[in-house]
Amino acid sequence: MAVSDSDDLLKSALARVQDEVDRAFDAYLPVPSDSRARLVEAMRHATIGGGKRVRPLLVVAVADLYRVDRSAAVAAGCAVEAIHSYSLIHDDLPCMDDDELRHGKPTVHRAFDEATAVLAGDALHALAFDILTQSDVSSDPFVRSELVSVLARASGHEGMAGGQMMDMAADEEDYDLHQVTRLQQLKTGALLGASVEMGAILGRVPPEGRAHLRAYARDIGLAFQIADDLLDVEGDEALAGKALRKDGEQGKATFVTLMGAEKAREQARALVDQAIGHVAGHGSDARLLEALARFVIERDR
Amino acid sequence: MAVSDSDDLLKSALARVQDEVDRAFDAYLPVPSDSRARLVEAMRHATIGGGKRVRPLLVVAVADLYRVDRSAAVAAGCAVEAIHSYSLIHDDLPCMDDDELRHGKPTVHRAFDEATAVLAGDALHALAFDILTQSDVSSDPFVRSELVSVLARASGHEGMAGGQMMDMAADEEDYDLHQVTRLQQLKTGALLGASVEMGAILGRVPPEGRAHLRAYARDIGLAFQIADDLLDVEGDEALAGKALRKDGEQGKATFVTLMGAEKAREQARALVDQAIGHVAGHGSDARLLEALARFVIERDR
């Protein structure tokens, strides 16, 4: 497939998922007429009209391999995105990264206030599991329970939250490449891995049949993070829609500080090739996953 | 049953559940050897060796009505307690209630730091749903999915988090008795209601068979909150293990400010009698639920 076809395929797939996810959150989050309105407005601010929607696209793209009903895959994708969104709200808080800008908009604690931001994150966290146990995700309770299990494990202390803790300790710990890799596998990789697993669970693929998808997710997860570290050094803040140059200011070990920019770029490319290899067995069905793998290192935001 | 027998029954039931919950969290939360240790220590600080464990006892007491396996009920009780604990960590944050003391110990952001407290709350939130999807809770995925659904709904923006938002707006909103009741039904009542529902779900009681248990939970939830408001005015800080007299200082509408202490006390007693009436059909099996209903208005902390 020519690169421009791959580009078009990805662009239209992203645009479609972005639209579907926006509509779904709009439906999940009607604004109540009492004083909870502020909470729901904050949840909407964080979830509607922002973000690349890479995780929902991963769920949908993998589910597509197994001909899963589209609306079920979008719902599961929204659950992952709700978790991703809550983690961004909390990471942006003054006591964490203290960021003012996210997806080109004020962060939730800036647009509302800190207490509302904490609560909006918590409520989105609960919403994720609420979504996954609705029957429109799957009529099979085993599938629903498996989806919850994978997402809860990936986001908790043995996954994303654990990675965030390692990241917070990075200033004092002087991590080596092995530790930075482990940190990123937890902080970013766990949720990307959960996204592909959830697509496969919807497709009723047993755990042993998901190994190649997990390997794909692991590779694009690391490539994604290397690209993020490169973006932090070389990117354009206006395009990125968030503050950059933060790692350097904080003297943090990243793939770029540990490997150098050129070697990091090579490594990211190698990981993408490897990721594409893992899904090659799906033939032309895997075109979207291939395009997505290339996208993670070519994006400018 | 004489009051002293009822007292003994409750005391021994609480002591047993407290011990079981402590042991369970100790097993759920082994401290890792990397820099995630601080996160897990904070989660342990919040969950082990503190709290009355009213919610796990509710799950266990209702599950007992239907002869549910004890360890399954304790696990489900721990899931509710994990949600309760995360909400206390986040409520205690400087940007929320800014409390220094909880269960007679420093709050998590005091014993650790704010960022760790935010993360520890988030990780306990995820742990709750992780616990509920393990097969030791139930071998039936339908039961697991229902447990997740009830708990997620009760803790999100339509439940506990929504109630907390209403509570935060209370300073400006000048609530009447109807609105304070609604606020408390969400903030405290939703999770108590979820506890009894989860006991019934484990007992395979269909939704229409849970109405009397929901009514029981609604009544003790309001009685519990009235008692809390009375405790805030009349209680002993050392016994309570937390700061009191906060509602008055903030000029907040509570059951006590709206009804007066004497009328509030009467109302709490009437609610407890009503709650006991709802479970009378279970005969002597409901002794523990009766004792628990009496306890919520007689406690000093």
pLDDT at position B1: 54
Chain A residue with CA closest to B171: the answer is A35
Tokens of A3: 């690169």
Check CB contact under 8 Å for B133 and A155: no
Residues B89 and B120: their CA atoms lie apart, in Å, by 8
Is the reported ipTM for this assembly greater than 0.90?
Answer: yes
pLDDT at position A115: 96
Check CB contact under 8 Å for A127 and B38: no
Residue A237 above 80 pLDDT? no
Q: With an 8 Å Cβ cutoff, is B95 touching chain A? A: yes
One DSSP character per residue, A35-48 reads TTHHHHHHHHHHHS
Contact list, A35 vs chain B (CB under 8 Å): 165-166, 169, 173
Check CB contact under 8 Å for A35 and B166: yes
Q: Which are the contacts of A198, defined by CB distance < 8 A and separation ≥ 6?
A: A59, A62, A76, A79, A80, A147, A150, A151
Q: With an 8 Å Cβ cutoff, is A41 touching chain B? A: no
Residues A29 and A17: their CA atoms lie apart, in Å, by 18
Q: What is the dihedral of CA A25, A27, A31, A32, to 10 degrees?
A: -130
pLDDT at position B50: 83
Residue A6's pLDDT band, with cuts at 50, 70 and 90, is confident
Contact list, B157 vs chain A (CB under 8 Å): 29, 36, 39-40, 43, 123, 126-127
Judged by average pLDDT, the poorest of A136-140, A236-240, B291-295 is A236-240
Contact list, A168 vs chain B (CB under 8 Å): 115-116, 119
- Whole-angstrom CA distances from A4 to A1, A8, A10, A238, B161 are 8, 6, 10, 25, 46
pLDDT at position A297: 84
Tokens of B185: 């039904």
Q: What is the dihedral of CA A137, A138, A144, A147, to 10 degrees?
A: -60
Report the 10 Å Cβ neighbour count for A26. 13
Contact list, B113 vs chain A (CB under 8 Å): 95
Q: Which fold has domain B3-298?
A: Farnesyl Diphosphate Synthase (1.10.600)
pLDDT digits (tens, 9 = 90+) for B220-279: 999 999 998 898 888 776 666 666 667 666 778 889 989 999 999 999 999 999 999 999
Residue with tokens 């206030």: A113
Tokens of A258: 């540990």
pLDDT digits (tens, 9 = 90+) for A164-190: 999 999 878 889 999 999 999 999 999
Please name which of A216, A293, A254, A231 lies closest in space to residue A54, comparing C-alpha atoms.
A293
| Domain range summary for chain B, segments of one domain joined by + | 3-298
The phi and psi torsions of A294 (rounded to 5 degrees) equal: -65, -40
pLDDT at position A239: 66
pLDDT at position B245: 64
Q: With an 8 Å Cβ cutoff, is A153 touching chain B? A: yes
Low-confidence ranges of chain B (pLDDT < 70): 1-3, 237-245, 247-249, 300-301
Contact list, A156 vs chain B (CB under 8 Å): 123, 126-127, 130
Chain B residue with CA closest to A94: the answer is B115
Residue A121 above 70 pLDDT? yes
Check CB contact under 8 Å for B95 and A115: yes
3 state DSSP class of B54: helix
pLDDT at position A23: 98
Q: With an 8 Å Cβ cutoff, is A90 touching chain B? A: yes
Q: With an 8 Å Cβ cutoff, is B76 touching chain A? A: no
Q: For A282-288, what is the mean pLDDT?
A: 95
pLDDT at position B240: 66
pLDDT digits (tens, 9 = 90+) for A52-103: 999 999 999 999 999 999 999 999 999 999 999 999 999 999 999 889 988 8
Chain B residue with CA closest to A40: the answer is B157
Q: With an 8 Å Cβ cutoff, is A157 touching chain B? A: yes
In this complex, the residue of A119, A125, A166 whose CB is nearest that of residue B125 is A125
pLDDT at position A103: 85
In this complex, the residue of B141, B152, B164 whose CB is nearest that of residue A119 is B164
